[in-house]
Amino acid sequence: MNRKVSVIGAGNVGATAARSIADKELADVVILDIPQMQGVAQGKGLDMLEACPVEGSDARVLGTSDYADTAGSDIVVITAGLARKPGMSRDDLLTKNCAIVSSVTAQVMEHSPDCIIMPVTNPLDAMAQVVYRKSGLPRERVIGMAGVLDSARMRAFIAQELDVSVENTHAFVLGGHGDTMVPLPRYSTVAGVPITELLDKETVDAIVHRTAHGGAEIVKLLGTGSAYYAPGSAVVEMVESVLKDKKKILPCSVFLNGEYGVHGLFVGVPCKLGANGLEQIIQIDLTAEENAALKKSAAAVQELVQVIDMD
């Protein structure tokens, strides 16, 4: 294989994504973590490599702490960062992860200047802004993972409620990755039929609320830690669309230059992903209420960006 994906961060999300990329034989995989975690990255990488014969995959997997091993990557997925700890403010987490992602981006660009970067670290939209500014890459090559995850959660809830296959469900989620995200029920469908015609308003509203708080629900259930299976799968869908030039329409956090009335911010919108990365932003008509919700979500992202002085 000659394609290469590097995953920066050997935690649960990074390891889940790396394993799936290798299992699907999408590319050779390098999973990297800081020197203090070198044994973890190496051990997980070796474990994944040894799983490949069982999966029938000839992908090569390497765990490392040396960015030189990531050289020539086609795609770099950034999951590195801290989880919020007791007593840590939102701004503290933001500042610390900004420093981590900024450092990671500089080293990624040194070894893979032609790559596409997919940030996953939270707070996602602000971290994508950090990558974009630090890397100097065109906006087509910095694509944040958020909406694919949020839409997957909404699709799961729709399928549960209607007792249908998830393959029949499509969900539309715009805005920042967080409580202010904007699920759009009238664009969310089952076999082409809007869920607003299949479910009563109370049920739809409950699905929308659960989608917006999907991550928090899992954190509460786990007690410690946060979701990683669905986030890992979500970023792999994006990686696959790019590497296979599938041109899937997926909701991703990208830098907007006036689309949807938003300027200079990473916000989740429907995107066409292909070999060139972001190939098109799909613009849809929003109602006044939906537009107001999207503007509110963008304003929440702007607040985060201002804290790290990346506007």
Residue of 270, 239, 182 whose CA lies nearest to 59: 239
CA 301 to the chain's CA centroid: 15
Residue of 120, 131, 123 whose CA lies nearest to 231: 120
Answer for the pair 245, 276: CB distance below 8 angstroms, yes or no. no
| 209 assigned to active site | no
E strand residue ranges, the chain:
4-8, 28-32, 61-64, 75-78, 116-119, 169-170, 173-174, 182-183, 189-190, 193-194, 248-257, 263-274, 277-281
**Annotated catalytic residue: which of 177, 209, 213, 263?**
177
| Angstrom distance (rounded) from CA 204 to CA 196 | 7
| Angstrom distance (rounded) from CA 47 to CA 264 | 42
| Angstrom distance (rounded) from CA 166 to CA 282 | 23
Known catalytic residues?
A: 177
